[in-house]
Amino acid sequence: MKLQIQTKPSEPTTLYLILDGKLDTLTAPELDSFISDKLIQNINTLIFDLQTLSYISSAGLRVFAKTRKLIKSRKGEMFFVNLSPQVEKVFEIVKAVPIAEVFKNTQELDAYLGKMQNQVIQEP
């Protein structure tokens, strides 16, 4: 299988996906249909762990863009973590994702999420 998608258990409103392999024109539709299935109504946080994703092309970017649009419509958020060099380069060229949504490693992501949660609690 060229692309494998795994879910990692997380908060009930969070979907944590680990992508493994290549995300090109042939495998992008798989990811698209997977996300449509899994992105049920109450999910408002989507995290992509791309540590083992070695390659991405424009088709993959398109799927991310589409998903991002969907998440934003729910007032949710989408994050990327553990980008490999090729993916990072491509993201940079097309300015695919705001810098705020990309994290170098899981520790930074957790720290950010933790901070966000605290803020939510503190807001009246």
Partner 1 sequence: MQEFLIQNLKFGHFLLLSLNSSTLRLVKRVRGLPQLRFRSITHRLIFGCVIAAIFIYSVSYWEIRPILEQSLGTWTIQLAESRVNTIAAEIIGTLRSLEQEANLIVQTNLEESTVPLLQTLMAQKSEIHAIAARLSTGSKSIGLGGDDGEGLLSHCQVSATSNYPFWTAPYQLSPSNPSFGITYCLSLQQRQNIVAIELTLHWLKPLVTRKLSLVSKFYQLEMPPPFVIAPQTGQGLVGTSASMQKLLQSANLRHRLAANNSGPQVLEDSSGILVTTSLPPTSWIIGIAIPNTQTRMFAQKFLWLIIGSMTKDMILMCVAIALVSRQTTRSLRALLTSTEDIAQGNLDTTLIVVTQHDEVGRLAKAFRQMRDALKIYIQELQETTAAKQKMESELSIAAQIQRSMVPKIEVASSSHPRHKLSALFQPARVVGGDFYDFFALGNDCLCFVIGDVADKGVAAALLMARTITLLRTVAKPTSTPVEILCALNDQLCTNNDECLFVTLFCGVLDLNTGALTYASSGHDLPLLVRDRCIQSLDLETGPPLGLEEEALFPQGEFLLQPDDLILLYTDGITEAMNPDGELFSETRLIDLLTFYPPANPAQTIRLIQYFYRQFVAQAPQSDDLTILVLQYQPSSPFSQDMDIVEWTLTINSKLTELERVSQHLAEILKAESIAVENIEDTLLIVEEVLVNIIQHGYDNKEHQRIDLQVKISTGILRMVFEDWGKPFNPLREIATPDLSIDDEQRASGGLGFYLVRELADQVDYLRQDNKNILTIRKNLK
Q: Which residues bind partner 1 (CB under 8 A)?
A: 2, 24-26, 55, 57-59, 61-62, 65-66, 68-69, 85-86, 89-90, 93-96
Cite the DSSP H helix spans in the chain.
Answer: 28-38, 58-73, 85-94, 106-122
Residue 97 beta carbon to partner 1: minimum distance, rounded to whole angstroms:
8
Of 7 and 25, CB closest to partner 1: 25
Looking at residue 41, what DSSP letter applies?
T
Q: What angle do CA 94, 24, 50 make, to 5 degrees?
A: 70
Residue 83 beta carbon to partner 1: minimum distance, rounded to whole angstroms:
13
Residue 107 beta carbon to partner 1: minimum distance, rounded to whole angstroms:
27
Of 65 and 111, CB closest to partner 1: 65
**Tokens 């803020």 map to which residue?**
119
Amino acid at 2: K
